[in-house]
Structure formats: C-alpha cells, structure tokens
C-alpha cells in the first residue's frame, strides 16, 4: 500500500509503467536514463496524444533508443475483461488491473457530446443505500495510471487517436463511476492533470465534472487546484433522511456541505454546481421536499439533476412515479433553477447511474446483456 491506500501492482518484469506519470516525473525518468530533456516531450506526445502502446511504434525516436526504452519501461493499459453495448448506444467496459482487481467504465453518447464515466476506487468506502456500488466493500484506491488508463481504453475502443479530433465521441469526463474521488484525491488529481494537458489527452477542465458525496474538507482544495466542475450527491433535504441515504452526512451534515459549495472556487452563474438528486418513491419526492430544496440552495449558483432511481436485483427502493418527478421538477424550475430529469442510459447492461459494480458479471441477466468485442 502507498500513502494514499493504493495497492500498487508490481510492474511486469520489473519495468516501470510510463502511463499515468506526469511531465516532471517523465522528465526525471529520462534524466535517469541519460537521455536529453526533449525525449520526455517526445514520449509525452506518443503516449498521450497518439496513444502508442508499443515503443516500436514511436518512429520519431531512434531504433536504439526505442530498444532501451522497452528494456526499462512499459506502456501498460488496463485489460478489457468484458465489453458491453446497450441498445441505446451506451458502452460499458469491465477493466482488469495487474492485481486482478476490476472496475467498470461507461461511455454515454449524446447528440452534442460523449461522456465517459470514470471510476476512482475498486468498490467504495461509502455505503449510500440507493447505490449498487455502495453494496461492494472498498478494496483499494486506483492509482493515476489506472484512472488515466480508463480514458485511454475508451479512446482505443472509439478509434480516437491521435487526440484531439474535431468530431471526437469522447468530449466530457465525469468522475462519477465506482468510488468517492475525494477519498482518493492525490491520484485523481494527478490523473486529471494528465487528461487536461493540452498536448496530451486535451480535455478541458470545463468538460470535466467531479462528483462527491460530500467530503467537505477536500471540496475547496479540489476547486483551487483543479478548477473542474463540481457535482454533489445530495438526495435529501433533511439530515435525518440524508443520514440514512448517504451515511457520510453524519460526518459532514447538509449545512456544512452547502457552505463548502458556496465557497467553491470559480463557481458562478456560468459555472454552476450540479446537485444530484435521486428520485425515490415515497422517500424524498414530495412537493414539500422540492420547496425545501429550493430554500437550501438559495445563494448558490446551481442546477439540479433529477435522477430516476435505477434498480438492481434486491434494491430496497423504487423509482418515483413520473407525475411525482414532474411535479418536483416544476417546483425547482419555477424557483429559477434548471432541473433536468436525467434520461436513464444503459439500463439493459446495468450501466446506468448507481448500477456499477465490478462483480456485476454475477448479477447480470444473460437475456439483458449483449456482449460486444472490446474494440467494436
């Protein structure tokens, strides 16, 4: 285990993986190898702009130097254990790491964007009652290579190297997959800096959203250091109910969480904080709760994503009725807050919000799942 609780798998044959290391670290590796500094810039281009998986493909480097690199380093991506494609175009990959642990990553195509939902932990340290991932114990944090690797695997499958491309299908990233990203902040931050680098994967911070269940002490640091969009899993308007739905609330109650949101660096009417609110039948979906939500958000540049509950086998809740969701949305919208109802995507492959779980192969219903080739 490292200082962040990450179980770091041994590099194959003692070679260091260059995927997931930042510019300064890459430059240090080249100095240690006795190579000139410009080699680091060349490698960065090949790894993160062109998506090279083999040093032999790096034709701007001499054959001798490529051989030296191959002796000392590797370019390791996660392995694709299974790839699924939904009838609505959503794609899900079950990815396996060197220690045989697995996570799920989801790509959601839309008319004007393509969003990749990225995981930050194997399992989850939280136990949110409506979330399938929360029923799986935390195994470990992902390291930066494993987080960046999810983006690279998606680019592989979508055929989007080199990057960026004008018509690319992967335009946005949401740290909303398995795990609580602010409980693995150092690795998430390292990975996102690589993702945002304009000479590499080149995804703007304005196209990246980090979702938290409310790790209050880390929220300001995230805004100050990364400047990405913030999404908050709220789901209740009273501490009594949120203590049940999101047990982290017992440590950081609603008032503290909302104050952290008010103080979030860079938030404005142009860059609003997103509050996620899962709609649970008879639990949190009344008009009175909609009005209280409006009161709580007063003074925060915000929008509210209403999420119809996505069930899984044995789930303890039901989704709110469409009429209840509409009434709730109308109240929030009338108060001046955008309140879109999220259209469930990928339900037939258990890729919808709250359904991810790395051992889902045991839970899937074969009639609902349609395997696809990893690069299909």
| pLDDT for the residue numbered 289 | 98
pLDDT at 365: 38
How many alpha carbons fall within 13 Å on the CB side of residue 37?
Answer: 2
User: Of these residues, 29, 74, 102, 104, which one is catalytic?
Assistant: 104
Q: What angle do CA 117, 322, 257 make, to 5 degrees?
A: 50
Angle (nearest 5°) at CA 359 between 80 and 139: 95
Three-class SS of residue 137?
coil
Distance of CA 319 to the CA centre of its chain: 24
pLDDT digit string, tens, across residues 46-74: 999 999 999 999 999 999 999 999 999 99
Cα(370)–Cα(87) distance, integer angstroms: 9
CB proximity list for 371: less than 8 A, separation 6 or greater: 82, 83, 84
Q: How confident is the model at residue 346, as a pLDDT? A: 54
- Predicted confidence at residue 314, as pLDDT, reads 80
Q: What distance lies between CA 152 and its chain's CA centroid?
A: 13
**Count H helices, E strands: the chain?**
10, 13
CB 26 within 8 A of CB 16: no
- Concerning whether 353 is annotated as a catalytic residue, the answer is yes
What class has domain 79-362?
A: alpha beta
Q: Does 1.10.3720.10 match the CATH number of domain 14-74?
A: no
CA angle 89, 363, 177 (to 5 degrees): 55
**16-53 b/e (C-beta count within 10 Å ≥ 16 → b):** ebbbbbebeebbebbeeeebeeebbebbbbbbbbebbb
- Is 104 in the active site? yes
Give CA–CA dist 324/310, Å, rounded: 16
Torsion angle (degrees, nearest 10) of CA 196, 74, 92, 315:
-90
Question: Among residues 117, 124, 131, 353, which one is catalytic?
Answer: 353
| DSSP codes of every residue in 234-266 | ---SSHHHHHHHSGGGGTS-HHHHHHHHHT-TT
What element of type H or E holds 370? none
Which H or E element spans position 208? strand 208-212
DSSP 58-125: -TTS-HHHHHHHHHHEE-PPPEEEEEEE-TTS-EEEEEE-TTS-EEEEEEEE-SS-EEEE---EES-S
Neighbours of 202 (CB within 10 A): 17
Which residues of the chain are under the pLDDT cut of 50?
1-11, 351-356, 358-376
- Over the range 181-190, which residues count as b (16 or more CB within 10 Å of their CB) and which as e? bbbbbebbbb
Q: Where are the domains of the chain?
A: 14-74, 79-362
């Amino acid at each position: 285990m490292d200082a962040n609780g990450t179980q770091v798998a041994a590099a194959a044959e003692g070679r260091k993986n260059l995927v997931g290391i930042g510019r300064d670290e890459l430059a240090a590796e080249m100095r240690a190898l006795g190579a000139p500094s410009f080699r680091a810039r060349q490698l960065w281009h090949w790894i993160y702009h062109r998506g090279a998986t083999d040093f032999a493909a790096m034709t701007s480097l001499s054959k001798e130097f490529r051989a030296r690199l191959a002796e000392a380093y590797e370019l390791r991506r996660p392995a694709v254990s299974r790839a699924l494609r939904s009838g609505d175009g959503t794609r899900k990959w079950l990815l396996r790491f060197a220690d045989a642990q697995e996570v799920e990553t989801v790509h959601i195509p839309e008319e004007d964007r393509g969003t990749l939902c990225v995981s930050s932990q194997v399992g989850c340290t939280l136990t949110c009652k409506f979330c399938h991932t929360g029923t799986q114990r935390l195994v470990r944090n992902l390291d930066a290579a494993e987080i960046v690797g999810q983006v690279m695997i998606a680019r592989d499958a979508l055929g989007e190297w080199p990057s960026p491309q004008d018509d690319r299908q992967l335009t946005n990233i949401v740290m909303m997959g398995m795990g609580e990203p602010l409980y693995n902040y150092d690795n998430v931050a390292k990975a996102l800096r690589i993702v945002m680098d304009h000479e590499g994967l080149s995804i703007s911070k304005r196209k990246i959203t980090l979702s938290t269940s409310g790790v209050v002490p880390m929220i300001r640091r995230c805004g100050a250091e990364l400047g990405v969009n913030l999404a908050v899993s709220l789901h209740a308007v009273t501490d009594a109910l949120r203590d049940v739905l999101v047990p982290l609330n017992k440590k950081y109650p609603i008032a503290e969480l909302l104050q952290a949101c008010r103080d979030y660096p860079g938030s404005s009417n142009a860059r609003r904080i997103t509050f996620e609110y899962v709609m649970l039948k008879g639990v949190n979906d009344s008009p009175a709760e909609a009005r209280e939500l409006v009161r709580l958000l007063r003074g925060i540049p915000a929008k509210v994503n209403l999420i119809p509950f996505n069930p899984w086998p044995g789930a303890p809740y039901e989704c709110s009725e469409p009429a209840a969701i509409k009434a709730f949305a109308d109240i929030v919208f009338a108060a001046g807050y955008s309140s879109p109802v999220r259209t469930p995507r990928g339900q037939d492959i258990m890729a919808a919000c709250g359904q991810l779980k790395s051992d889902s192969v045991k839970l899937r219903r074969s009639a609902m799942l349609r395997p696809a080739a990893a690069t299909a």
